[in-house]
């Protein structure tokens, strides 16, 4: 017994020595940050309001399976699958939408219960899973590996009478149909091949158990469940202008140019209806058809009996439809059954073209989920405006008076007016505050409170409070998309809020889906209202664009655009003169070529002059540009050099025109070759080049000051590595005042080093502050959804390898190949960001603080201090104690002065 007690005591002592918990203080959690969770635009939905637990199950275009609360829209659970075609949800089948016999027959072998929810995901392999819809847990799974993975990507599935049907289309040839028991995966018979030479990927759709294709002015249909498939034909009045769509909830009914068309005569359908959206559901054992249309900003919801097409007034409603939402599309509806009443208490679920989920009940919008934020393209932090009094004071400080006396009189008059407005405000007779002031959108003392303007892939623009996360305004830019060459839409700040009384001005530049021409939207980022012309549809395609550096009297930076025919355009037009002397460059990724241009203003016209051309395609022409990394235009470099151990200075090679270009090519020996080029885009000279063997994407890079860091996958050792490069001019500077790329500065000294990153890297970003005094950190977004704040001294390529003493004097730590992932350095602690792919940083009014927004499927906003908050007092600072100490010291000084003077006087009389 004594031995056992001694062993237990030793075990407890060992456990107490470990530091098991690392976390934030409890009072700091979600105090300076917030996170919003999203699921993406709805692809399929199932709503059940009459069960024991009301539920809304959805599968989305972002490969997410989720359950939402029908009453509030809150997320109950979600399962995030793989991105891309691997995680594509091809089928979501709910047991409540099938008959009882189907549920029993769909059970596993020697089991009497059926599935609750079934999904089919991916194609190579295809994963079939059964889910517990209440908890979001997978209960069983089986997989199917295709014989031809290239063709299997077009395969689709449907469920009928306890069987899963797998259809593999061979375009312009035939269909291969295979039946499986839903929950066991056991095939039923052999694969059937159905000859169908008319099938085409763009002209066919599945409606229940029927596969229908459009051939000119005729519908050709096959029943995929029949033992002997029979071809059915249906003639149309006209050739459809839009692709075929299936009617949700009905089998064998299609939507052709907003009308319902049945592929068989015995299928009931309301041919006289014309609507933007249809859906079929059940109510008290009867089929109900619901339509939804938006006319003059009013949403009309109509209901009909599917058998007789008679209208149902109790399920119909009208309501005002918000302007910032896109075209609604009905996804699901359900009505609460009542024994004593036939009044309609229905909930309608809509998916909109701006990727929002809208719930409508009793002519009111119950809730809205802004799922467009699951695809953030660009974000900007915009300063909030000043109050009217602060704006007047700022104008006075900027103004130049004729003499001192007039400035003094003007200042006294302003103070009197301020006191008068204060008294009127106290007694309730003063001017009413503006809308922005009532919303709390006023600049704070430290510049930490800003408006976060977010642009999404669907064309939706949000104005979000970076402190609270509140959506102050929304705007939907319809029918726009990203540019060609894998370039995303741009969000530009043409004027900030620092020029009172002028309001801030932002511009969205995108491509029109229909014409492929450019689209400009100019708006006030604080209020969300369009300004300076608002929406402008251009008559040309955009090739390249940039903001001008100089401004006019209205402080607006002009937008310079190069169209597809190399013609120049400036918006606004009165800023055309400011474009003189601008250097621009374009890059063609597939051809791996870069072209430089010079813009000049002569004879009241802008002309573009080609300067240089760089071909990086290699001798075989197989190199492709995979990424470009330029410097942040807001960046300021505080330190020009680095102090060496001998007290000399190693000056940084700070070239603001330097751009990092990465190319990739396949190689017979090394599989992949990646080249890194540092190119001066003003002169076209290649400053530095380096090659990596057996490495491949994903590649992520960040370029700042005199250094470059990029992460890639090393295919040889199968790990992620980060390579860093630093450039130095040497012990002397070629020009200590102004940098010029045209004077052919000497080539820099290059320091480089590689490190092992023990996690998959999804994005890289550097911290930025207003003056550049604070240390630079690199924010690394990982595949696990965490954001690692890594100090630059850990990535420093000058970390000594051989000697432990070398480099210590200049602050370099010894080289260790593997980078540490410290839990203290994860800025989002346990607030995981699913599919993290975008990080944006911006300076605040405090030099120590950097604002951060991270986006993927979720969004996370916070602020960080790379060098701690050296310019800000701590929250627990004892103001009372320091006040008492100061008062005591001041009082003591006066008392001591009094006694000292008396002592001197007495000594003088002696």
Q: What mean pLDDT comes out for the span 489-509?
A: 91
Give the residue-averaged pLDDT of 8-19.
Answer: 46
Contact assessment for residue 498 and residue 407, using Cβ atoms and an 8 Å cutoff? no
Please state the domain extents for the chain: 35-197, 198-269, 274-371, 386-439, 616-734+745-873
Name the band, by pLDDT with cuts 50, 70 and 90, for residue 806: low
Which residues make beta-bridge pairs with 777? 791
Residue 98 reports pLDDT greater than 70: no
- Residue-level pLDDT at 406: 75
Mean pLDDT of 122-126: 91
Work out the average pLDDT over 97-117.
50
pLDDT bracket for residue 53 (50, 70, 90): confident
CA distance 592 to 616: 5
User: For tokens 């911006």, what's the residue?
Assistant: 842
224 has pLDDT over 70: yes
Half-sphere exposure of residue 322, counting CA atoms within 13 Å on the CB side? 20
pLDDT score recorded for residue 875: 74
pLDDT over 90 for what percent of the chain?
60
For the stretch 632-676, pLDDT in tens is 998 999 888 888 888 889 999 999 999 999 999 998 888 899 999
Band of pLDDT at residue 18, cut at 50, 70 and 90: very low
C-alpha–C-alpha distance, residues 715 and 888, integer Å: 69
The residues, any chain, with a CB within 8 Å of residue 493's CB and separated by 6 or more, are 380, 382, 504, 505, 506, 525
Task: Give the ranges where 607-745 is alpha helix by DSSP (H).
Answer: none
pTM: 0.89
664 vs 399: CA distance, rounded Å: 55
Q: 């089929």: which residue's tokens?
A: 287
User: Is pLDDT at 809 greater than 60 in this prediction?
Assistant: no
pLDDT at 13 over 70: no
Buried b (16+ CB within 10 A) or exposed e, 632-663: beebeeeeebbeeeeeeebbbbbbebbbbbbb
Lowest mean pLDDT among 62-71, 301-310, 383-392, 808-817: 383-392
Host H or E run for residue 543: strand 542-551
Cα-Cα-Cα-Cα torsion 404, 409, 410, 414, nearest 10 degrees, comes to 140
Cα–Cα dist 302/150, whole Å: 44
Mean pLDDT of the chain: 87
pLDDT digits (tens, 9 = 90+) for 142-184: 999 887 777 889 999 999 888 999 999 999 999 999 999 988 8
Tokens (6 digits) for 524: 């006030």
What residues pair up with 215 in beta bridges, in sequence order? 218
Which of the four pLDDT bands, split at 50, 70 and 90, describes residue 112? very low
**Among 166, 213, 218, residue whose Cα is nearest residue 191:** 166
pLDDT at 807 over 70: no
Model confidence at 838: pLDDT above 90: yes
Contact 130, 117 (CB under 8 A): yes
* 311-to-303, 872, 873, 886 alpha-carbon distances in Å: 6, 67, 68, 81
Between 10 and 373, residue with greater pLDDT = 373
Radius of gyration of the CA atoms of the chain, in A: 33
8 A C-beta contact, residue 519 and residue 509: yes
Query: How does 367-381 read in b/e, with b if 16+ C-beta sit within 10 Å?
Result: bbbbbbbbbbbbbbb
Return the minimum-mean-pLDDT range out of 43-57, 337-351, 445-459, 471-485: 337-351
pLDDT of residue 25: 64
Q: What is the pLDDT of residue 267?
A: 86
pLDDT per residue over 575-585, tens digit each? 999 999 999 99
Q: Is the model's pLDDT at 26 over the cut of 70?
A: no
Q: What is the residue whose two structure tokens read 């689709």?
A: 156
For residues 500 and 619, what is the distance between their CA atoms, to the nearest angstrom? 56
- pLDDT above 60 (res 452): yes
| pLDDT of res. 22 | 45
Residue of 209, 240, 203, 238 lying closest to 225 (CA atoms): 209
Query: What does CATH list as the number for 35-197?
Result: 2.40.128.630
Q: Determine the length of the chain.
A: 910
Does position 97 have pLDDT exceeding 60, yes or no?
no
pLDDT reported for residue 20: 43
Range with the poorest average pLDDT among 268-272, 424-428, 555-559, 720-724: 424-428
What is residue 803's predicted lDDT score, i.e. its pLDDT? 61
Residue 404 has pLDDT above 50, yes or no: yes
Q: How far apart are the first and last CA of the chain?
A: 90
Question: Of the candidates 310, 304, 261, which has an alpha carbon nearest to the alpha carbon of residue 280?
Answer: 304
Picking from 840, 841, 843, 829, the residue whose alpha carbon sits closest to that of residue 871 is 843
For 424, the 3-state DSSP assignment is helix
Whether 331 shows a pLDDT value over 90: the answer reads yes
Q: Is the pLDDT of residue 34 over 50?
A: yes
Judge contact between 244 and 214, C-beta under 8 A.
yes
Cα–Cα distance measured from residue 128 to residue 218, given in angstroms and rounded to the nearest whole number: 35
| For residue 108, pLDDT beyond 60 | no
Tell me which of 16-20, 755-759, 836-840 is least confident: 16-20
Q: Is the pLDDT of residue 23 over 60?
A: no
Q: Which residue has the higher pLDDT, 222 or 739?
A: 222
CA 346 to chain centre: 34
Report the DSSP beta bridge partners of residue 602. 605
Tokens of 159: 């469920």
Whether the predicted pLDDT of 11 surpasses 90:
no
Structure tokens at 899: 């006694």
Number of Cβ within 10 Å of residue 613's Cβ equals: 10
Give residue 408's pLDDT band: very low, low, confident or very high (50, 70, 90): confident
Q: What are phi and psi of 371, to 5 degrees?
A: -80, 0
Tokens of 296: 């003059």
Burial annotation 269-294 (CB, 10 A radius, 16+ → b, else e)? bbeeeebbbbbbbebeeeebbbbbbb
Among 108-112, 396-400, 508-512, the minimum mean pLDDT is found in 108-112
Query: For strand 593-602 and strand 582-588, is the pairing parallel, antiparallel, or unpaired?
Result: antiparallel
Position 638 scores a pLDDT of 87
> 439: pLDDT confidence band, cut at 50, 70 and 90?
low
Q: Which of 580, 587, 671, 584 is nearest to 624 (CA)?
A: 587
Helix axes of 404-426 and 388-398: crossing angle, nearest 10 degrees:
180
Is the distance from CB of 834 to CB of 752 less than 8 angstroms?
no
- Would you call 579 exposed, middle or buried from its count of C-beta atoms within 10 A (0-12, 13-18, 19+)? buried
Q: Is the pLDDT of residue 553 over 90?
A: no
Task: Quote the pLDDT of residue 647.
Answer: 83
User: What's the pLDDT tens digit per position in 283-311?
Assistant: 878 889 999 999 999 999 999 998 888 98
pLDDT at 234 over 80: yes
Question: What beta strand segments (E) does 306-429 contain?
Answer: 317-320, 328-335, 346-352, 356-361, 364-370, 376-383
SS3 887: helix
Ramachandran area for residue 136 (φ above 0: left; ψ -120 to 50: alpha; else beta): left
């Amino acid at each position: 017994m004594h031995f056992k007690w001694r062993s237990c005591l030793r075990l407890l002592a060992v456990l107490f020595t470990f530091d098991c918990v690392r976390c934030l203080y409890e009072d700091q959690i979600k105090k300076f940050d917030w996170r919003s969770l999203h699921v993406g635009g709805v692809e399929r939905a199932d709503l059940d309001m009459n069960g024991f637990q009301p539920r809304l199950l959805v599968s989305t275009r972002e490969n997410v399976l989720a359950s939402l609360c029908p009453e509030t829209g809150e997320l109950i659970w979600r399962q995030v699958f793989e991105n891309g075609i691997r995680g594509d949800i091809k089928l979501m089948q709910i047991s409540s939408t099938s008959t009882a016999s189907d549920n029993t027959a769909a059970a596993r072998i020697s089991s009497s219960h059926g599935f609750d929810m079934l999904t089919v995901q991916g194609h190579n392999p295809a994963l079939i899973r059964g889910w517990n819809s209440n908890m979001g847990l997978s209960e069983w799974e089986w997989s199917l590996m295709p014989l031809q993975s290239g063709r299997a990507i077009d395969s689709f599935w449907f469920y009928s009478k306890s069987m899963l049907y797998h259809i593999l289309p061979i375009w312009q040839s035939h269909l291969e149909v295979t039946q499986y028991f839903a929950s066991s995966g056991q095939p039923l018979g052999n694969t059937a091949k159905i000859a169908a030479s008319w099938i085409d990927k763009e002209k066919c759709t599945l409606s229940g158990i029927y596969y229908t294709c459009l051939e000119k002015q005729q519908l050709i249909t096959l029943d995929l469940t029949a033992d002997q498939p029979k071809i059915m034909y249906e003639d149309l009045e006209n050739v459809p202008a839009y692709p075929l769509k299936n009617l949700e909830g009905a089998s064998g009914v299609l939507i052709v140019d907003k009308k319902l068309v049945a592929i068989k005569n015995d299928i009931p359908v309301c041919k006289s209806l014309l609507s933007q959206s249809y859906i079929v559901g059940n109510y008290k054992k009867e089929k109900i058809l619901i339509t939804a249309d938006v006319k003059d900003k009013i949403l009309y919801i109509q209901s009909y009996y599917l058998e007789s097409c008679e209208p149902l007034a109790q399920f119909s409603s009208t309501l005002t439809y918000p302007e910032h939402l896109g075209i609604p599309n009905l996804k699901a509806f359900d009505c609460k059954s009542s024994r004593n009443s036939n009044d309609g208490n229905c909930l309608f679920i809509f998916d909109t073209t701006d990727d929002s989920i809208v719930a409508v009940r009793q002519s009111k919008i119950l809730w809205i989920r802004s799922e467009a934020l699951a695809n953030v393209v660009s974000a900007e932090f915009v300063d909030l405006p000043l109050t009217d009094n602060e704006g007047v004071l700022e104008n006075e400080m900027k103004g130049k008076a004729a003499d001192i006396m007039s400035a003094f009189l003007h200042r006294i008059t302003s103070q009197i007016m301020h006191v008068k407005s204060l008294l009127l405000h106290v007694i309730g007779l003063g001017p009413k505050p503006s809308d922005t002031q009532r919303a709390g959108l006023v600049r704070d003392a430290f510049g930490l409170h800003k408006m976060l303007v977010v642009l999404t892939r669907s064309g939706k623009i949000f104005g979000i409070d970076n402190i609270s996360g509140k959506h102050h305004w929304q705007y939907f830019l319809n029918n726009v998309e990203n540019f060609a060459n894998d370039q995303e839409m741009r969000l530009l700040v043409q004027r900030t809020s620092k020029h009172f009384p002028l309001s801030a001005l932002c511009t969205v530049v995108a491509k029109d889906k229909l014409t492929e021409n450019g689209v400009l939207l100019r708006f006030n980022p604080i209020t969300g209202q369009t300004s300076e012309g608002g929406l402008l549809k251009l008559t040309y395609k955009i090739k390249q664009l940039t903001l001008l550096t100089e401004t006019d009297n209205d402080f607006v930076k002009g937008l310079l655009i190069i169209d597809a025919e190399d013609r120049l355009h400036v918006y606004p037009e009165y800023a055309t003169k400011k474009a003189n002397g601008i250097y621009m460059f374009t890059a063609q990724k597939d051809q791996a070529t870069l072209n430089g241009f010079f813009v000049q203003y002569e004879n009241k016209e802008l002309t573009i002059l080609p300067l240089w051309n760089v071909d990086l395609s290699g001798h075989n022409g197989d190199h492709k540009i995979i990424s470009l990394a330029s410097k942040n235009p807001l960046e300021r470099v505080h330190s020009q050099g680095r102090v060496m151990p001998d007290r000399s200075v190693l000056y940084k090679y700070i070239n603001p025109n330097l751009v990092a270009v990465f190319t990739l090519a396949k190689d017979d020996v090394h599989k992949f070759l990646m080249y890194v080029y540092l190119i001066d885009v003003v002169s076209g000279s290649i400053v530095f080049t380096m090659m990596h063997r057996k490495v491949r994407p994903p590649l992520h890079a960040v370029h700042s000051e005199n250094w470059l860091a990029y992460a890639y996958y090393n295919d040889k050792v199968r790990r992620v590595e980060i390579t860093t490069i630093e450039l130095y001019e040497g012990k002397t500077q070629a020009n200590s005042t102004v940098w010029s790329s045209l004077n052919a500065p000497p080539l820099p000294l290059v320091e480089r080093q590689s490190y092992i990153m023990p996690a998959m890297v999804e994005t890289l970003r550097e911290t930025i502050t207003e003056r550049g005094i604070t240390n630079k950190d690199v924010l690394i977004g990982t595949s696990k959804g965490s954001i690692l704040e890594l100090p630059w001294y850990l990535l420093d390529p000058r970390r000594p390898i051989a000697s432990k003493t070398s480099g210590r004097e200049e602050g370099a730590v010894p080289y260790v190949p593997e980078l540490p992932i410290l839990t203290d350095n994860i800025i989002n602690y346990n607030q995981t960001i699913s599919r993290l792919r975008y990080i944006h940083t911006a300076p605040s009014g405090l030099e120590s603080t950097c604002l951060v927004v991270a986006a993927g499927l979720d969004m996370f906003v916070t602020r960080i201090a790379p060098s701690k908050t050296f310019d800000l007092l701590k929250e627990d600072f004892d103001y009372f104690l320091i006040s008492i100490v100061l008062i005591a010291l001041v009082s003591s000084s006066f008392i001591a002065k009094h006694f000292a003077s008396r002592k001197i006087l007495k000594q003088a009389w002696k």
